[in-house]
Structure 1
Amino acid sequence: MANVKPVEQPGGRYGIPSPLGVGPMSRNSIDACIEFAYRHEFNLMLIPSRRQIEAAALGGGYVEGWDTEAFAEYVRKRDPKHLLMLCRDHGGPYQLPTERASGLTPEQALDSATVSFVEDIRCGFELLHIDTCMDVDGPAEHSLAVERLVELYGRCVEAARVENVDLRFEIGFEDQGVDTNDPAEFDEQLHDVLARLRAADLPAPTFVVAQTGTKVLETTNTGALRTAPAAVEYAVRALSDLTQKSGLALKAHNADYLSFAEIGRLRTAGVHAMNIAPEIGVAETRALLELLEEVGLRNARDSFLAMAYESGLWRKWMIQGTPDDDLRRAIIAGHYMFGTEAFVQLKESVSATVARRGIDLDQYLRLRIEHVIGRYATLL
Structure 2
Amino acid sequence: MKNILINSKFCFGPMSKNIVDTLIEFSNNTQIPVTFIPSRRQVEWNGGYVNNWTTETFTKYVKSKSKYIAIQRDHGGPGQGLYDDDGYESLKYDCKYFDAIHIDPWKKYPDFDDGLKWTVDVLKFCYNENPNLYFEIATEEAIRKFSAEEIERLLHKVKHQFDKRIFERILFCVIQSGTSLKDGINTGKYNSNRLVKMLNVVKTYQKLSKEHNGDYMDKDIMIDRFNTGLDSLNIAPELGVFETKLFLKYLKNNNDQENVDLFYELCYNSGKWKKWVSDDFNPEKNKEKLIEICGHYVFSSKKIQNLKKGINKYICEQLYDNFTKTFN
- Given candidates 157, 160, 185, the residue that maps to 1:195 is 160
Pairing 1:1-380 to 2, within 5 Å after superposition:
10-11=2-3, 16-56=6-46, 60-79=47-66, 82-99=67-84, 104=85, 109=86, 113-123=87-97, 125-135=98-108, 139-161=109-131, 166-172=132-138, 174-177=139-142, 181-198=146-163, 202-225=167-190, 232-322=191-281, 324-348=285-309, 351=310, 361-378=311-328
TM superposition outliers: structure 1 runs of 4+ over 4 Å: 178-181, 199-202
Summarize deviations over 1:314-341 as a string: whole Å, max 9, x none: 0111122245422211211100111122
User: Structure 1's 175 and 168: CA in aligned 2 closer, same or farther, altered over 3 A?
Assistant: same
TM-aligned CA distance change 1:127 to 1:20, over 3 Å = same
On the 8 A contact 2:34/2:70 being kept in 1, the answer is yes
CA contact (8 A) 1:178 1:215 kept: no
Report SS of the residue matched to 2:136. Answer: strand
SS of residue paired to 2:11: strand
SS in 2 for 1:98: coil
Alpha-carbon offset, residue 236 of structure 1: 0.5
Answer whether contact 1:292 1:300 (CA < 8 A) is retained.
yes
CA distance in 1: counterparts of 2:150 and 2:186, whole angstroms: 25
Q: Could you tell me how far 1:201 is from its partner in structure 2?
A: 5.5
Rate the CA distance shift 1:204–1:347 in 2: closer, same or farther, 3 A: closer
Alignment root-mean-square deviation, CA = 2.3
Q: Count matched residues.
A: 326
The answer to whether the Cα contact below 8 Å between 2:247 and 2:308 also exists between their aligned partners in 1 is no
Give structure 2 stretches of 5+ with no counterpart.
none
Give how far 1:10 is off.
4.5
Q: Distance in 1 between matches of 2:325 and 2:147?
A: 29
Three-state SS of the structure 2 residue aligned to 1:72 is: helix
* Partner in structure 2 of residue 3 of structure 1: none
**Normalising to structure 2: TM-score of the pair?**
0.92
The gaps in structure 1 that reach 5 residues or longer are: 1-8, 226-231, 352-360
Question: If the length of structure 1 is used for normalisation, what is the TM-score?
Answer: 0.80
Instruction: Give the secondary-structure state (helix, strand or coil) at the position aligned to 2:214.
Output: coil
Check the 8 A contact 1:178/1:214 in 2, yes or no. no
Matched letter for residue 266 of structure 1: R
- For 1:310 and 1:89, locate their aligned partners in 2 and report how far apart those are by CA, in whole Å: 26
